[in-house]
Amino acid sequence: MSALERFDSPVTPLRDDVWAASSALSYVRYQLQVEAEPDSLCRVLNLFALQFLTPHKVVMNQCDDVLEVELEIGGLSWHRAELIAQKMRNLICVDEVVLALAHRPD
């Protein structure tokens, strides 16, 4: 049982995206180039954790001093996905972020 499923949990429940309440939900892919530092991946994933979101797929490869990270997540409005991408771009360890629609896994 997750913390969100427990009745006595202090965790705040998921909130709707009030800025795009009528928007269709999307399955999106983030492709990032991040500095290869020990805390870089944690910083990126924390942006999802702060909103009680868990990516469906996370793939990371290190090429010299750069981490190539691919994240896929569903259930976001395009507006919310863009806001998260912008927050990623504001991280000092992130060099590049590409956001695109992805195919839902079967």
For the chain (length 106 residues), average pLDDT per consecutive 10?
53 52 81 96 96 94 97 93 96 96 82
* Rounded-to-integer distance, Cα 57 and Cα 6, Å: 25
* Rounded-to-integer distance, Cα 16 and Cα 58, Å: 24
What is the pLDDT at residue 12?
A: 45
CA angle 63, 64, 65 (to 5 degrees): 105
SS3 67: strand
* Rounded-to-integer distance, Cα 9 and Cα 24, Å: 29
Q: What is the pTM of this model?
A: 0.79
* Rounded-to-integer distance, Cα 30 and Cα 26, Å: 12
Pick among 3.30.70.260, 3.40.190.80, 3.40.50.1000, 3.40.50.300: CATH of 24-101: 3.30.70.260
